[in-house]
Chains A and B, each alone.
Chain A
Amino acid sequence: NAGVTQTPKFQVLKTGQSMTLQCAQDMNHNSMYWYRQDPGMGLRLIYYSASEGTTDKGEVPNGYNVSRLNKREFSLRLESAAPSQTSVYFCASSVRGEGAGELFFGEGSRLTVL
């Protein structure tokens, strides 16, 4: 009954450090996404993967990289963290693409960059 699992749930970084957020889903979904949520901004799409082996940029991809390791896992990497990347990050998955609208979200990862 896990659904979408993200790790870590909390992380504090110093400017310039790198880290990877991990995401795994056990629903056999084709599509996976990374969003960031900032106060008053709603959710903004960073990157998505429509299927295993493909990744595409979303609305705010600068400063991030992603890897679709297999059908289950989709990781988000910050190579050189900046204070502007302080945010709550959500991984999501869906059977069909984002345009179908029915996404399943993880619990979020709160990242603070000092």
Chain B
Amino acid sequence: GNSVTQMEGPVTLSEEAFLTINCTYTATGYPSLFWYVQYPGEGLQLLLKATKADDKGSNKGFEATYRKETTSFHLEKGSVQVSDSAVYFCALSDRTLGRLYFGRGTQLTVWP
């Protein structure tokens, strides 16, 4: 079946630190992969996406590369800011089934 596993949080970093949030997936077909971000008190927003193997999604300084060989889609940012404090969700879409599968979310807190 389809599933997404994210690293457990919370993750706490100092401003300008390097961020990695791990995400691995299990899929029956050829999924698209996404990272969503949820800022405090808000709904989820699409942060970036990748639709096929070796694609790199990027937005707002965040990047993630679709690695089919390791079934991973890790989120990275070279220098985090306080404003990046949020919950990050990895997700997988199965176009055949027409479904989207979310990971459990990783809370990131960035201190000044």
- B45 at interface by CB-CB < 8 Å: yes
Q: Which residues of B contact A34 (CB under 8 A)?
A: none
A-B contacts, 29 listed (Cβ < 8 Å): A4-B43, A41-B104, A42-B89, A42-B103, A42-B104, A42-B105, A43-B102, A45-B99, A92-B44, A98-B93, A98-B99, A99-B93, A99-B94, A99-B95, A99-B97, A99-B98, A100-B95, A101-B32, A101-B91, A102-B49, A103-B44, A103-B46, A105-B43, A105-B44, A106-B43, A107-B41, A107-B42, A108-B42, A108-B43
- How many chain A residues touch B (CB < 8 A): the figure is 21
Bound CA–CA A106/B49 (angstroms): 20
- Contacts A92-B44, A99-B93 supplied; 10 other A-B pairs, CB < 8 Å: A40-B104, A43-B44, A50-B98, A90-B44, A98-B98, A98-B99, A99-B95, A99-B98, A101-B91, A102-B34
Q: How many residues of B contact A (CB 8 A)?
A: 23
Residue B96 interfacial (CB < 8 Å): yes
Q: Which residues of A pack against B, CB within 8 Å?
A: 4, 40-43, 45, 50, 90, 92, 97-108
Shortest Cβ distance from residue B74 to the other chain A in the assembled complex, whole angstroms: 18
- Total A-B pairs in contact (CB under 8 Å)? 56
B contact patch SS: strand
Distance between A10 CB and nearest chain B CB, rounded to angstroms: 11
Per the bound structure, the CA–CA distance linking A45 and B46 in Å amounts to 17
Q: Give the distance to chain B from A110, nearest Cβ to Cβ, in Å.
A: 10
Q: Are B43 and A100 in contact (CB under 8 A)?
A: no
By a CB distance below 8 angstroms, the chain A residues around B89 are 42-43
A72 vs B103: C-alpha distance when bound (angstroms): 28
Whether the pair B102, A100 counts as a contact (CB closer than 8 A) is: no
Given A42-B89, A42-B105, A43-B89, is A98 in contact with B100 using a C-beta cutoff of 8 Å? yes
